[in-house]
Chain A
Amino acid sequence: MTWIFENWERFWEVTEVHLRLSIVPVLVGFVLAIPLGWWASRSQTARAVLFPFANILFTIPSIALIVITPVLIGVKILDEINVIVPLVIYTVALMVRSIADALSAVPGNVVAAANAMGYRPLRRFLTVDFPLALPVTIAGLRVATVSNISMVSVGALVGLGGYGQLFTEGYQTDNSPKVIAGLIGTVVLAVLADGLLLLIGRLLTPWARAGR
């Protein structure tokens, strides 16, 4: 802990980088996963294609994806995009399934009622299906966010920023307080982000607790 206070500026600097590298992929991945998840919730073919593909994406180790990305998209190995692209991929892979499951679980009679009231597909999706799917979607988003925050550190193994830098530097200089500082930072960030999403979920779905 003392390392954090004695090196506050450095700690804050890596915190900022870490936040950016974990939040941006969650947002981008979430937005990309919504249409895919919607597709998978409606079509058996889409499920049969998307789910195994998502599973395979998950099995690619993050360190491997981080070192391969620069070669595939033609940027330098020290570009931040090399962490962002893999994390977007993991987020999409995770969220497609949870959005699809969430949308499939929307009660059929509610959907039928909305149809009968004359809701057009897009409006029905935005005002009926999606809100009802939010609890499960947000649960998936929490998992994606927490695992992203933990995975950003892997980028440091190839020299990228974030708390992972404290790990590699601490390892090279035999400085365990520095490693612990990064570890505490990661866990605190993950717990805060998780709590924030939980709170947002509660505020957005007041009906979820009403019936209990």
Chain B
Amino acid sequence: MGGWLFDPAHWSGSTGIPVRLLEHLGYTLLTLLIAAVIAIPLGAFVGHTGKGGFVIVGLSNALRALPTTAVLILVVLWAGLGDFPVYVALVLLAIPPIMAGTYAGVRAVDPVAVDAARGVGMRESGVLLQVEIPNALPLIYGGFRGAALQVVATATIAAYTGAGGLGRFVFDGLALQEFGQMLAGAVLVALLAVLVDLGFAGLQRLTVSPGLRPVGTGGKR
């Protein structure tokens, strides 16, 4: 079964595994960047003011229910083939977990710390940027890493409308009835997901205050 994956012929050229891997990684990273730029300020603002939390939760849930395949196909039908539909579909997928994580993180910051920040005369922007967001980072990373896993896995679907990425192997293998190729695609996506998550776990260790560390990922609180 591993024959396809380890055949040197599949590791070179413009349709080889390294190129597809980089395309997949490219979709993932740019998607996460765009989604973070949209979702973190929204989640943080609503978490800070405490107003509109219901809207954030409702919006996240509604977006979560949105089938990515349908969004991808619709944007392709309206705007034509290419990478643009892929980004629209994936960004919509990545926003809910990041937004929900940021909102929950900011809400969960110890009110005593927020009070103290106001007490020492911080402006609201300082309270948010220097106290609430740094304290919320573990939960923000939680949402972000969840989004990253979903995006890596779902970017596979991009190949259905002819775009690149590791999904090419899955769909080309399906069309050619080549099980080895489909399996190779699936394994590579799973591997990439693990690597991306490890990368963000490292980033999290570097950027989250050591005092907050035990809360990290999935540990008991």
Q: Which parts of A43-79 form the interface with B (CB within 8 Å)?
A: 51, 55-56, 58-65, 67-68, 71
B-contacting 9-mer, from A125-133, A170-178, A204-212: A170-178
Q: Which parts of A154-196 form the interface with B (CB within 8 Å)?
A: 154, 156-158, 163-164, 167-168, 170-171, 174, 176, 179-180, 182-183, 186-187, 190-191, 194
Q: Are A149 and B153 in contact (CB under 8 A)?
A: no
Known: A176-B78, A183-B67, A183-B74. A157 touches B193 (CB 8 A): no
Known: A56-B190, A154-B157. A64 touches B74 (CB 8 A): no
Q: Are A171 and B76 in contact (CB under 8 A)?
A: yes
A146 is an interface residue with CB less than 8 A from chain B: yes
B127 is an interface residue with CB less than 8 A from chain A: no
Q: Are A157 and B160 in contact (CB under 8 A)?
A: yes
Interface magnitude class on chain B: 35 or more
A104 is an interface residue with CB less than 8 A from chain B: yes
B15 is an interface residue with CB less than 8 A from chain A: no
Number of A-B residue pairs having CB atoms within 8 Å of each other in the complex: 120
Q: Are A63 and B157 in contact (CB under 8 A)?
A: yes
Complexed CA–CA distance, A56 and B152 (Å) = 12
A61: contacting residue among B154, B161, B174, CB under 8 A: B154
B170 is an interface residue with CB less than 8 A from chain A: yes
Contacts of B4 in A (CB 8 A): none
Known: A51-B218, A167-B67, A183-B67. A60 touches B74 (CB 8 A): no
Interface magnitude class on chain A: 35 or more
Q: Are B69 and A59 in contact (CB under 8 A)?
A: no
Q: Are A64 and B185 in contact (CB under 8 A)?
A: yes
For A64, A68, A143, A163, which residue has the most chain B Cβ atoms within 10 angstroms?
Answer: A64
Contacts of B156 in A (CB 8 A): 61, 63-64
B149: contacting residue among A51, A58, A63, A171, CB under 8 A: A58
Q: Are B218 and A187 in contact (CB under 8 A)?
A: no
Q: Are B77 and A59 in contact (CB under 8 A)?
A: no
Q: Are A154 and B170 in contact (CB under 8 A)?
A: no
A147 is an interface residue with CB less than 8 A from chain B: yes
A15 is an interface residue with CB less than 8 A from chain B: no
B99 is an interface residue with CB less than 8 A from chain A: no
Q: Are A64 and B186 in contact (CB under 8 A)?
A: yes
Q: Are A60 and B186 in contact (CB under 8 A)?
A: yes
Contacts of B161 in A (CB 8 A): 171
Q: Are A153 and B186 in contact (CB under 8 A)?
A: no
Known: A58-B149, A59-B190, A191-B62. A158 touches B67 (CB 8 A): no
B56 is an interface residue with CB less than 8 A from chain A: no
Residue of chain B at shortest CB distance from A152? B67
Complexed CA–CA distance, A6 and B45 (Å) = 44
Residue of chain A at shortest CB distance from B76? A171
Contacts of A150 in B (CB 8 A): 64-68
Q: Are B174 and A187 in contact (CB under 8 A)?
A: no
Known: A58-B149, A179-B77. A186 touches B61 (CB 8 A): no
Contacts of A147 in B (CB 8 A): 64
For B62, B78, B153, which residue has the most chain A Cβ atoms within 10 angstroms?
Answer: B153
Known: A61-B154, A176-B74, A179-B77. A164 touches B65 (CB 8 A): no
Q: Are B189 and A60 in contact (CB under 8 A)?
A: yes
Q: Tell me the smallest distance from the CB of B4 to a CB of chain A, in Å.
A: 13
Contacts of B78 in A (CB 8 A): 176
A-B contact pairs, 16 of them (CB 8 A): A59-B194, A60-B186, A61-B154, A61-B190, A62-B153, A63-B170, A64-B182, A67-B174, A104-B220, A147-B64, A153-B70, A154-B69, A156-B69, A163-B70, A171-B73, A183-B74
Since A163-B67, A182-B70 are in contact, a sample of 8 more A-B pairs with Cβ atoms closer than 8 Å, ordered by chain A residue number, is A56-B194, A59-B190, A59-B194, A61-B186, A64-B156, A67-B173, A149-B65, A174-B77
**Which 4 pairs across A and B sit closest by C-beta, in order of nearness?**
A64-B186, A59-B193, A190-B65, A61-B156
